[in-house]
Amino acid sequence: MFRKLLLATGIAAALLAPVAVATSAAAQDVKTRIIRFGYGLSENSNQGRAVKYFAEELSKRSGGKFKMKGFGDASLGSDIQMQNALIGGAQEMMVGSTATLVGIVKDFGVYDLPFLFNNEKEADAVLDGPFGEKLLKALNDKGLVGLVYWENGFRNLTNSKRPITKVEDMGGIKLRVMQNPVYIDMFNRFGANAVPLAFSELFTALETGTVDGQENPVTTIQSSKFYEVQKYLTISRHVYSPWIVLASKRWYDALSADEKKILNEAAVASRDFERKDSREASAQSVAYLKEKGMQINELSPAELDRMREMVKPAFDKYAADGGAEVLKDLQAAITAARK
């Protein structure tokens, strides 16, 4: 009886072996690929740490065949330059601001409207849900593939002139903003002189006095060493700013189904890592910037309410300029997230 059982087991194993081998072979439809991944911040930033994690995940999941090389400090160009390189197939991947995609898919400008999200949990629900996915898919016809959203974070103000405790304090300050009409309009409404400028040019512009200030999350202020050329930090949390991980559609379409699966799953893992890391780093950055000599203040709830009232026309303008439908969908998604 025992010998019969062994024989039956052996026959079953022999029958199953070709299936197992075939399945394993199918799972190995992965080629050795060099992936150039560009990003704007330094290697020791939250962005740089996430790129390193992403590269490790890709290597692990592909059996070492996906070799991703990160190029930080905007060494492959500004966000807009890298986006164009991806579209042309000259570069494989990048992470950058959603704000600079507005020239490609106008609806991405909706994320730049001020005071949309109350907290990170709301932002996650909207970005990872149907609304965020719909905007990612809109890139497919433009030569780009949107994989996931990372977190840049809530943006705050710095400048070299004076503390900003009320809107009037922004009067006349030359404030660098992203090359995005929503940002330009918003800060002009606050009385600042909004100066659109690529991030890669920002430190030098602050150092030389070409601009007096800028606005970014505290982690970016720390990693970019803006504290060396900025005295005052104002916690305003005026915009929640996502980053977006992009791939060249020309390159992505040439991947096998297995390779796409590896890339997509590693991207999601990198998103979860980056958000956790970014939020932990944000809490530490304020203390670090204070140690570096920055004078830090937080805008009062009453002043923030004033600012919200002042920028309401920005919503009307955005809707009138063709954004009514996407704004309505976003507001519905935020309402659902709050429930």
Residue-wise pLDDT for 282-297, tens only, equals 989 999 999 999 999 9
Pairing type for strands 240-248 and 93-97 reads antiparallel
Q: Which two tokens stand for residue 218?
A: 């505290």
pTM, full prediction: 0.85
Q: Which two tokens stand for residue 32?
A: 């050795």
Domain pair 31-152+241-284 / 156-239+291-338, same fold: yes
Share of the chain above pLDDT 70, in %: 92
pLDDT digits (tens, 9 = 90+) for 303-334: 999 999 999 998 999 999 999 999 999 999 99
- Report d(CA 133, CA 124) in Å as an integer: 12
Task: Tell me if residue 31 falls in helix, strand or coil.
Answer: coil
Higher pLDDT, 181 or 124: 124
Task: Tell me if residue 149 falls in helix, strand or coil.
Answer: strand
Are 101 and 86 a contacting pair, CB within 8 Å?
no
Share of the chain above pLDDT 90, in %: 86
- Report d(CA 35, CA 86) in Å as an integer: 12
- Report d(CA 336, CA 38) in Å as an integer: 35
What would be the CATH architecture of the domain defined by 31-152+241-284?
Answer: 3-Layer(aba) Sandwich (3.40)
Short-list 223, 334, 218, 210, CA closest to 285: 218
Considering the chain, what is the average pLDDT of its residues?
A: 92
Residues in CB range of 234: below 8 A, 6 or more apart: 156, 157, 158, 159, 163, 164, 165, 296, 297, 298, 299
Place of tokens 């197992």: 20
Place of tokens 């600079």: 100
Task: Tell me if residue 183 falls in helix, strand or coil.
Answer: helix
CATH for the stretch 156-239+291-338: 3.40.190.170
Q: Which two tokens stand for residue 325?
A: 């439908």
**Residue 158 predicted with pLDDT over 50:** yes
Residue boundaries of the structural domains of the chain:
31-152+241-284, 156-239+291-338
